[in-house]
Chains A and B, each alone.
Chain A
Amino acid sequence: MRAIRASLYEKQESRAAFGFIVPAFVLLAVFIFYPMLHALWISFQNYNLIAAHSSFAGWGNYRKLFSDGTFGASLWHSFYFTLVVLPVQTAISLGLAMLVQKKFRGVGFFRTVYFVPVAVSFAIASTIFRLIYNKDYGMLNAVLKGIGLPAVDFLSNPRISMLGIIVLCIWRAMGFVMVIFLAGLNNIPDSLYEAAHVDGASPAQRFLYVTLPLLKRTLAFVVIITTMDALKIFIPIYITTSGGPAGSTSTVVHFIYETAFKQMNMGFAAAAAFLFFALVLAISVVQLRIFRTDVEY
């Protein structure tokens, strides 16, 4: 009797669980999985955006990618962006988090100020930065000129244009990452710091041997999220520079967009998207491995 009831209960439970999963799965299937599979199919075709017919291309689109200099350059731009943004943004955000974690008068003000850029739409931030960066009339160069420094032409000098985008992106994202770090820092028990203090650890040692190891999970989350976001960067580039000057800020996603909607070469763009997807996936897997941790709070 009891056994029957238990199995009935389990059955009901699993049915309920199934019921919970189905709606989410249906939505994912319709709006994510099906379009993805369709895009995969497109990537093996000669597919013009507005054409009525398409023909099978086999691996042609993928092969072409490897000899395409523009795609190679856009890959490099994406990785360059990520390689700079990842350490710099993480360090700044962690620093900010440790600053505003301290309890002092007006800390709420600082927390708000650092977080405000996150609330600004990326499109608006990009438009504003385009005005700030203007070589002749921008605020940045007005200030630089005022203190006797040479002008910085982020928008028209291909050598430094990516740095302009990087500054913009870090400015906007650091508040968000700071909040995540703040949560992680607050999870570290004070007793550990006290113990370290009693043992005579210097502030630097406390940071290295207490804070950092216990932040590993938070750090892992931040690093993976930042990497993926940075590799997929598009909006600020589309709005601030449209990939220019001289193609120096054209990232992979921008390349895909241009290829699909300006050149109307959907098949080629889809192939680039999938190759890039595979790359990002591989990087994420490696990162997850590296950050695998046994430390529990």
Chain B
Amino acid sequence: MNRKPLLLSALLLAASGALAACSGGSGNSGGAGDSGESGAPASGSASSSADSGEVVTLSFWRHDYAPEAAAFKKLIASFEEKHPNIKIDFQMIPNDQYETKIRTALAGGNPPDIMALDAPTLASYASQKAIIPLDDYFAKDGNKDDLLKPVIEGLTYNGKMYAAPNNDGTIVMFYNKKMFEEKGIPLPSKNVDEAWTWEQVLDAAKKLNDPAKGVYGWNPTPWGFVGHEGAPYSEMAFLWQAGAEILSPDGKTAKGYLDSPEAKKALTFWKGLYNVDKVSPKELPQDAFWNGKVAIHVDGPFAFQYQQQNFPNFKLGEDYDVAPLWKDRKMVGTTGSWNMAITSHSEHPDEAWQFVNWVTGVEGSKVWYEETKNLPARQSTFDAFQELKEYPMNIYAEQLSKYGHPRPVTPAYPAISEAIRLLFEDVGLGGADVDESLAKAVKKIEDGLAMIGQ
């Protein structure tokens, strides 16, 4: 009588165990070779395991973004062809779940061998020893000297480099050329040294703003007030441009930096955009710029590909143009993009590096650029493509090298990202008092810093 339910529950338990194994595991497709080698770590250098002929399966997780996934599939195919002993199990995870999934996997002791890593999260993973330093690998065959300085800076924590960059990124100003011409507004310069000031952009935005037609003058953040890193990425530039800093140079405190008069000026200006001049949309409609609902916009180099695929009739040079990002006291553009890191859990770090270097190395980086049109992180890639020296890519390239500013490298970055995001929301959407909001943000960051000090 009672045996059956017991059996059932045992079965259930077994099944859930099997499920857990599936979700964490990788190459069932890898075949018979897998099970045998899982216990034995790869001995010696990668080449020796290549000789021995055993097949290593590496799992690799990345957030899902179609054009980049295609580039990865291409690079994985060429890698596996060249390295028959290594199989890559590539998993794409929806963008807004990626960080959570990676973190729970790390917490559960089931992370992939290789993980995609957004630059500012590096320090929190590195400080918890979730990922391994790559300096020895870079010294061996990583061509570190070829990488751009701000990129290296953004990936270095406590003197060690923990990730290899797929590309770098920054955002520039997009403007609807026809609207500018209609209102007789002079077009902004394409020279990164002659960027428009906040006031110049605001002045134009006021003329372009047309509530009756549902047209907003100026959208200063690419995705609007979103719940992810996309918002603080663009918002931090305003702080830096005004001359403010988020943390002290030693990274120990935000007091006296984030609540400086410069930061107050930036936030007061921001508040005005949404609440006084009302030139900026509190809710950014889908594809607002491409649909002519926003006159001045900000976006990354990936925007061109998006436009070609989705709005082929809205043409660069005719309907819109790009110019360097705006400036205030200083010209600053936020930098930092996605990278690849090897988790400390990986049993095959040497093989993992081979793959990472295949994708992010000198040659892989060129393929990556051709496929994704993302801003390269390597000088050799910049040199290899003439189009990077021409409009519109030269604006990104020059802004990146002359005025690039990485986000703070600190294990407390998750707290900072959240604090900055809420700060700009409080002031922009909520019309909250600038001083109070800044005090709240400073406290949040101080709490975050205190936590990592424990």
Contact = CB atoms under 8 A, between A and B. Distances in A.
Interface string B7-42: 011001100000000000000000000000000000
Contacts of A297: none
Interface of B: 1-2, 5-6, 8-9, 12-13, 99-100, 103-104, 106-107, 124-125, 128-130, 214, 225-227, 281-283, 285-286, 293, 414-415, 418, 422, 425-426, 429-430, 432, 440, 443-444, 448, 451, 454
A263 B418 CA distance: 8
A30 B432 CA distance: 47
A52 B129 contact: yes
14 contacts: A23-B9, A27-B9, A50-B124, A51-B128, A52-B129, A55-B454, A70-B444, A156-B225, A156-B282, A156-B429, A246-B432, A247-B425, A258-B418, A262-B414
A261 interface: yes
A99 B254 CA distance: 60
A104 interface: no
Given A16-B1, A157-B429, A262 B418 contact: yes
Contacts of A23: 5-6, 8-9
Given A48-B128, A245-B425, A135 B283 contact: yes
Contacts, number: 105
Interface in A20-71: 20, 22-23, 26-27, 30, 46, 48-52, 55, 69-70
A134 interface: yes
A226 interface: no
Interface residues of A, number: 42
Contacts of A146: none
A30 B429 CA distance: 45
A242 interface: yes
A153 B431 CA distance: 14
Contacts of A157: 282, 429
A280 interface: no
A288 to B, nearest CB: 30
Contact of A20 (B5, B103, B454): B5
Contacts of A155: 283
B430 A248 contact: yes
Contact of A246 (B6, B425, B454): B425
In this complex, the member of B124, B283, B443 whose beta carbon has the largest number of chain A beta carbons within 10 angstroms is B283
B9 A26 contact: yes
A244 B227 contact: yes
A197 B444 CA distance: 64
A244 B425 contact: yes
Nearest to A50: B106
A136 interface: yes
Given A50-B103, A246-B426, A263-B415, A69 B440 contact: yes
A39 to B, nearest CB: 13
Contact of B448 (A46, A49, A263): A263
Given A22-B2, A30-B13, A245-B430, A264 B414 contact: yes
A265 interface: yes
B106 to A, nearest CB: 4
A236 interface: no
Contact of B128 (A18, A19, A52): A52
Given A48-B451, A261-B99, A263-B418, 6 more contacts: A20-B2, A50-B103, A52-B129, A264-B103, A264-B414, A266-B107
A175 interface: no
Contacts of B283: 134-136, 153, 155-156
A158 interface: yes
What are the 8 tightest A-B residue pairs by CB atom distance, in nearest-first order?
A: A19-B2, A242-B227, A246-B430, A156-B282, A23-B5, A245-B429, A23-B9, A50-B106
B12 A27 contact: yes
Interface string A79-98: 00000000000000000000
A158 B418 contact: no
A137 interface: yes
A156 B216 CA distance: 15
Given A50-B130, A258-B418, A244 B225 contact: yes
Contacts of B99: 261-262
Contacts of B125: 50
Contact of B429 (A49, A55, A244): A244
Nearest to B226: A242
B9 A49 contact: no
Interface in A242-297: 242-248, 258, 261-266
A158 B454 contact: no
Contacts of A245: 225, 282, 425, 429-430
B212 to A, nearest CB: 12
A47 B357 CA distance: 34
Contacts of A134: 283, 285
B128 A50 contact: yes
Contacts of A266: 107
A267 B106 CA distance: 16
Interface string A123-163: 00000000000111100000000000000010111100000
B130 A265 contact: no
